[in-house]
A and B are shown apart, each in its own frame.
Chain A
Amino acid sequence: MLEFIFLFFIVAAGTGGELCVSRAMKTLGEVHDFRPSALLQFVCRAARVGWMWIGIAFMTLAFFSLLAMLSMENVSFVVPITALSYAAGAIGATLFLREKISRQRWLGVLVVCIGVTLVWLSRR
Protein backbone atom coordinates (compact mmCIF):
# COMPACT_ATOMS: atom_id res chain seq x y z
CA MET A 1 0.00 0.00 0.00
CA LEU A 2 2.81 2.41 0.92
CA GLU A 3 4.44 1.68 -2.43
CA PHE A 4 1.30 2.91 -4.19
CA ILE A 5 1.28 6.14 -2.18
CA PHE A 6 4.95 6.84 -2.87
CA LEU A 7 4.59 5.94 -6.54
CA PHE A 8 1.65 8.34 -6.72
CA PHE A 9 3.75 11.14 -5.17
CA ILE A 10 6.75 10.40 -7.44
CA VAL A 11 4.61 10.46 -10.57
CA ALA A 12 1.97 13.07 -9.66
CA ALA A 13 4.15 15.49 -7.70
CA GLY A 14 7.09 15.01 -10.09
CA THR A 15 4.97 15.65 -13.16
CA GLY A 16 2.99 18.41 -11.43
CA GLY A 17 6.29 20.05 -10.51
CA GLU A 18 7.58 19.84 -14.07
CA LEU A 19 4.32 21.26 -15.43
CA CYS A 20 4.47 24.19 -12.97
CA VAL A 21 8.12 24.87 -13.89
CA SER A 22 7.25 24.53 -17.58
CA ARG A 23 4.42 27.04 -17.15
CA ALA A 24 6.77 29.42 -15.32
CA MET A 25 9.42 29.04 -18.06
CA LYS A 26 6.87 29.77 -20.79
CA THR A 27 5.94 33.05 -19.11
CA LEU A 28 9.65 33.93 -19.06
CA GLY A 29 10.17 33.17 -22.75
CA GLU A 30 12.90 31.50 -24.77
CA VAL A 31 16.55 31.85 -23.70
CA HIS A 32 18.81 33.26 -26.42
CA ASP A 33 21.71 34.63 -24.39
CA PHE A 34 23.80 31.94 -22.68
CA ARG A 35 26.43 34.21 -21.12
CA PRO A 36 26.75 33.63 -17.33
CA SER A 37 25.55 37.15 -16.45
CA ALA A 38 22.47 36.77 -18.67
CA LEU A 39 21.74 33.31 -17.21
CA LEU A 40 22.03 34.69 -13.67
CA GLN A 41 19.60 37.45 -14.59
CA PHE A 42 17.26 34.80 -16.01
CA VAL A 43 17.44 32.77 -12.78
CA CYS A 44 16.62 35.91 -10.76
CA ARG A 45 13.61 36.61 -12.99
CA ALA A 46 12.54 32.95 -12.67
CA ALA A 47 12.74 33.17 -8.86
CA ARG A 48 10.06 35.88 -8.92
CA VAL A 49 7.51 33.63 -10.65
CA GLY A 50 5.12 31.94 -8.22
CA TRP A 51 4.65 28.85 -10.39
CA MET A 52 8.40 28.19 -10.15
CA TRP A 53 8.25 27.86 -6.34
CA ILE A 54 5.15 25.66 -6.46
CA GLY A 55 7.02 23.50 -8.99
CA ILE A 56 10.10 23.26 -6.80
CA ALA A 57 7.96 22.30 -3.78
CA PHE A 58 6.29 19.51 -5.80
CA MET A 59 9.65 18.29 -7.11
CA THR A 60 11.08 18.17 -3.58
CA LEU A 61 8.13 16.05 -2.47
CA ALA A 62 8.69 13.75 -5.46
CA PHE A 63 12.42 13.43 -4.66
CA PHE A 64 11.86 12.41 -1.03
CA SER A 65 9.14 9.98 -2.14
CA LEU A 66 11.68 8.47 -4.55
CA LEU A 67 14.16 8.09 -1.68
CA ALA A 68 11.47 6.44 0.48
CA MET A 69 10.58 4.06 -2.36
CA LEU A 70 14.26 3.22 -2.94
CA SER A 71 14.62 2.33 0.74
CA MET A 72 11.95 -0.34 0.26
CA GLU A 73 12.38 -1.62 -3.29
CA ASN A 74 15.14 -2.36 -5.81
CA VAL A 75 16.32 0.40 -8.09
CA SER A 76 15.72 -1.82 -11.16
CA PHE A 77 12.05 -1.87 -10.11
CA VAL A 78 11.55 1.71 -8.90
CA VAL A 79 13.13 3.65 -11.78
CA PRO A 80 11.31 1.84 -14.63
CA ILE A 81 7.88 2.23 -12.99
CA THR A 82 8.46 5.98 -12.64
CA ALA A 83 8.23 6.02 -16.46
CA LEU A 84 4.51 6.31 -15.69
CA SER A 85 5.31 10.04 -15.59
CA TYR A 86 5.08 9.99 -19.39
CA ALA A 87 1.38 9.19 -19.07
CA ALA A 88 0.87 11.75 -16.30
CA GLY A 89 2.85 14.29 -18.33
CA ALA A 90 0.75 13.77 -21.45
CA ILE A 91 -2.53 14.05 -19.50
CA GLY A 92 -1.28 17.04 -17.48
CA ALA A 93 0.04 18.84 -20.58
CA THR A 94 -3.33 18.40 -22.30
CA LEU A 95 -5.36 19.66 -19.34
CA PHE A 96 -3.02 22.18 -17.75
CA LEU A 97 -0.86 23.56 -20.58
CA ARG A 98 -3.45 23.07 -23.38
CA GLU A 99 -0.88 21.25 -25.49
CA LYS A 100 -2.11 19.06 -28.32
CA ILE A 101 -0.81 15.51 -27.99
CA SER A 102 -0.43 13.60 -31.27
CA ARG A 103 -1.76 10.07 -31.78
CA GLN A 104 1.78 8.78 -32.05
CA ARG A 105 2.64 10.26 -28.65
CA TRP A 106 -0.45 8.66 -27.08
CA LEU A 107 0.65 5.35 -28.64
CA GLY A 108 4.08 5.77 -27.02
CA VAL A 109 2.42 6.53 -23.68
CA LEU A 110 0.27 3.40 -24.02
CA VAL A 111 3.36 1.26 -24.74
CA VAL A 112 5.10 2.78 -21.69
CA CYS A 113 2.07 1.87 -19.54
CA ILE A 114 2.19 -1.75 -20.78
CA GLY A 115 5.91 -1.87 -19.91
CA VAL A 116 5.28 -0.43 -16.46
CA THR A 117 2.57 -3.06 -15.85
CA LEU A 118 5.02 -5.84 -16.79
CA VAL A 119 7.68 -4.44 -14.44
CA TRP A 120 5.09 -4.13 -11.65
CA LEU A 121 4.06 -7.77 -12.19
CA SER A 122 7.73 -8.84 -12.08
CA ARG A 123 7.87 -7.90 -8.40
CA ARG A 124 6.55 -11.25 -7.19
Chain B
Amino acid sequence: MKESPGLHLKTYIFIFFIALFAPLGNVLLGKGMKTIGSARDWEPRELFHILMGILTSGYIWLGIACLLAFFIAYMLVLTWADYSYVQPASSFSYLVVAVLGLLLLGEKVNVLRWAGIAVICVGVFIVGHTHPRTTEKN
Protein backbone atom coordinates (compact mmCIF):
# COMPACT_ATOMS: atom_id res chain seq x y z
CA MET B 1 0.00 0.00 0.00
CA LYS B 2 1.30 3.48 -0.91
CA GLU B 3 1.71 5.74 2.08
CA SER B 4 0.23 9.20 1.57
CA PRO B 5 1.83 12.13 3.51
CA GLY B 6 -1.21 12.68 5.72
CA LEU B 7 -1.73 9.00 6.51
CA HIS B 8 -0.22 9.13 10.00
CA LEU B 9 -2.15 12.27 10.95
CA LYS B 10 -5.36 10.77 9.54
CA THR B 11 -4.78 7.57 11.53
CA TYR B 12 -4.14 9.48 14.78
CA ILE B 13 -7.29 11.56 14.28
CA PHE B 14 -9.38 8.42 13.72
CA ILE B 15 -7.82 6.64 16.72
CA PHE B 16 -8.65 9.71 18.81
CA PHE B 17 -12.28 9.46 17.63
CA ILE B 18 -12.33 5.72 18.40
CA ALA B 19 -10.93 6.22 21.92
CA LEU B 20 -13.42 9.05 22.55
CA PHE B 21 -16.69 7.96 20.92
CA ALA B 22 -16.95 4.47 22.45
CA PRO B 23 -16.54 5.67 26.09
CA LEU B 24 -18.69 8.74 25.46
CA GLY B 25 -21.42 6.50 24.05
CA ASN B 26 -21.28 4.26 27.11
CA VAL B 27 -21.30 7.26 29.48
CA LEU B 28 -24.39 8.64 27.70
CA LEU B 29 -26.10 5.22 27.93
CA GLY B 30 -25.22 5.19 31.64
CA LYS B 31 -26.63 8.68 32.15
CA GLY B 32 -29.79 7.71 30.27
CA MET B 33 -30.31 4.52 32.27
CA LYS B 34 -29.68 6.28 35.59
CA THR B 35 -32.38 8.80 34.62
CA ILE B 36 -34.84 6.05 33.65
CA GLY B 37 -34.05 3.93 36.73
CA SER B 38 -33.73 0.19 37.21
CA ALA B 39 -36.50 -2.41 37.43
CA ARG B 40 -37.61 -3.42 40.93
CA ASP B 41 -40.22 -6.14 40.51
CA TRP B 42 -39.47 -7.19 36.90
CA GLU B 43 -43.20 -7.19 36.09
CA PRO B 44 -44.14 -6.96 32.39
CA ARG B 45 -45.82 -3.58 32.92
CA GLU B 46 -42.78 -2.14 34.65
CA LEU B 47 -40.46 -3.53 31.94
CA PHE B 48 -42.68 -2.03 29.25
CA HIS B 49 -42.49 1.33 31.03
CA ILE B 50 -38.68 1.10 31.12
CA LEU B 51 -38.54 0.06 27.45
CA MET B 52 -40.62 3.12 26.54
CA GLY B 53 -38.25 5.23 28.65
CA ILE B 54 -35.28 3.80 26.72
CA LEU B 55 -36.88 4.40 23.32
CA THR B 56 -37.78 8.02 24.16
CA SER B 57 -34.57 8.95 25.97
CA GLY B 58 -32.38 11.53 24.23
CA TYR B 59 -29.32 10.34 26.15
CA ILE B 60 -29.80 6.75 24.94
CA TRP B 61 -30.15 7.78 21.28
CA LEU B 62 -27.17 10.12 21.59
CA GLY B 63 -25.22 7.24 23.15
CA ILE B 64 -26.22 4.92 20.29
CA ALA B 65 -25.19 7.64 17.79
CA CYS B 66 -21.77 7.88 19.49
CA LEU B 67 -21.35 4.10 19.40
CA LEU B 68 -22.29 4.08 15.71
CA ALA B 69 -19.76 6.87 15.06
CA PHE B 70 -17.17 4.76 16.89
CA PHE B 71 -18.06 1.70 14.82
CA ILE B 72 -17.83 3.60 11.51
CA ALA B 73 -14.50 5.23 12.50
CA TYR B 74 -13.19 1.79 13.55
CA MET B 75 -14.24 0.15 10.28
CA LEU B 76 -12.83 3.03 8.20
CA VAL B 77 -9.46 3.07 9.93
CA LEU B 78 -9.18 -0.70 9.42
CA THR B 79 -9.39 -0.18 5.65
CA TRP B 80 -5.86 1.32 5.66
CA ALA B 81 -4.30 0.56 9.06
CA ASP B 82 -3.43 -2.84 10.53
CA TYR B 83 -5.74 -4.36 13.12
CA SER B 84 -2.78 -5.02 15.42
CA TYR B 85 -1.96 -1.30 15.24
CA VAL B 86 -5.52 -0.06 15.85
CA GLN B 87 -6.73 -2.58 18.43
CA PRO B 88 -4.37 -1.56 21.29
CA ALA B 89 -5.70 1.99 20.92
CA SER B 90 -9.09 0.70 22.06
CA SER B 91 -7.48 -0.27 25.38
CA PHE B 92 -7.38 3.43 26.29
CA SER B 93 -11.17 3.57 26.09
CA TYR B 94 -11.38 1.76 29.47
CA LEU B 95 -9.37 4.58 31.02
CA VAL B 96 -11.33 7.28 29.16
CA VAL B 97 -14.67 5.82 30.32
CA ALA B 98 -13.58 6.12 33.97
CA VAL B 99 -12.34 9.70 33.42
CA LEU B 100 -15.60 10.66 31.69
CA GLY B 101 -17.65 8.91 34.39
CA LEU B 102 -15.77 10.92 37.00
CA LEU B 103 -16.00 14.27 35.19
CA LEU B 104 -19.45 14.08 33.55
CA LEU B 105 -21.42 11.85 35.92
CA GLY B 106 -19.58 12.61 39.17
CA GLU B 107 -18.88 8.90 39.81
CA LYS B 108 -16.53 8.03 42.64
CA VAL B 109 -13.60 6.04 41.31
CA ASN B 110 -11.39 4.62 44.07
CA VAL B 111 -7.71 3.66 43.86
CA LEU B 112 -8.46 -0.06 43.47
CA ARG B 113 -10.68 0.65 40.47
CA TRP B 114 -8.04 2.85 38.83
CA ALA B 115 -5.51 0.07 39.41
CA GLY B 116 -7.87 -2.53 37.92
CA ILE B 117 -8.54 -0.35 34.87
CA ALA B 118 -4.79 0.20 34.36
CA VAL B 119 -4.20 -3.58 34.51
CA ILE B 120 -7.04 -4.15 32.00
CA CYS B 121 -5.48 -1.56 29.64
CA VAL B 122 -2.14 -3.39 29.84
CA GLY B 123 -3.88 -6.74 29.20
CA VAL B 124 -5.79 -5.42 26.18
CA PHE B 125 -2.56 -3.87 24.90
CA ILE B 126 -0.81 -7.26 25.12
CA VAL B 127 -3.74 -8.99 23.36
CA GLY B 128 -3.60 -6.34 20.61
CA HIS B 129 0.10 -6.83 20.03
CA THR B 130 -0.35 -10.43 18.93
CA HIS B 131 -0.82 -11.46 15.34
CA PRO B 132 -4.40 -10.74 14.19
CA ARG B 133 -4.64 -13.73 11.85
CA THR B 134 -4.20 -17.20 13.31
CA THR B 135 -5.99 -19.30 10.70
CA GLU B 136 -4.75 -20.21 7.24
CA LYS B 137 -5.99 -17.98 4.41
CA ASN B 138 -8.34 -19.82 2.04
Contact = CB atoms under 8 A, between A and B. Distances in A.
Interface of A: 29, 34, 66-68, 70-72, 74-80, 83, 86, 90, 97-102, 104-105, 107-122
Q: From B33, B122, B129, name the one whose CB has the most chain A CB atoms within 10 angstroms.
A: B33
Contact of A76 (B54, B113, B118, B121): B113
A99 B126 contact: no
Given A70-B30, A71-B37, A86 B127 contact: yes
A70 B57 CA distance: 14
Given A70-B30, A118-B116, A111 B130 contact: no
Interface residues of B, number: 49
Contacts of B27: 75
B29 interface: yes
Contacts of A107: 126
Given A71-B34, A108-B129, A115-B116, 20 more contacts: A67-B29, A67-B60, A70-B34, A74-B101, A74-B105, A74-B107, A80-B98, A83-B124, A90-B127, A100-B135, A102-B130, A105-B127, A107-B126, A108-B124, A110-B123, A112-B119, A114-B119, A117-B116, A119-B117, A122-B116
Contacts, number: 137
A112 B94 CA distance: 11
B9 interface: no
Given A98-B135, A118-B119, A121-B112, A112 B105 contact: no
A66 B119 CA distance: 22
A115 B34 contact: no
A97 B119 CA distance: 28
Given A67-B29, A121-B112, A76 B102 contact: yes
Given A100-B135, A118-B113, A122-B116, A108 B123 contact: yes
B120 interface: yes
Top 4 closest pairs, chain A to chain B, by CB: A118-B116, A108-B126, A111-B123, A115-B119
Contacts of B121: 115
A119 B101 contact: no
Given A110-B123, A111-B126, A112-B124, A122 B94 contact: no
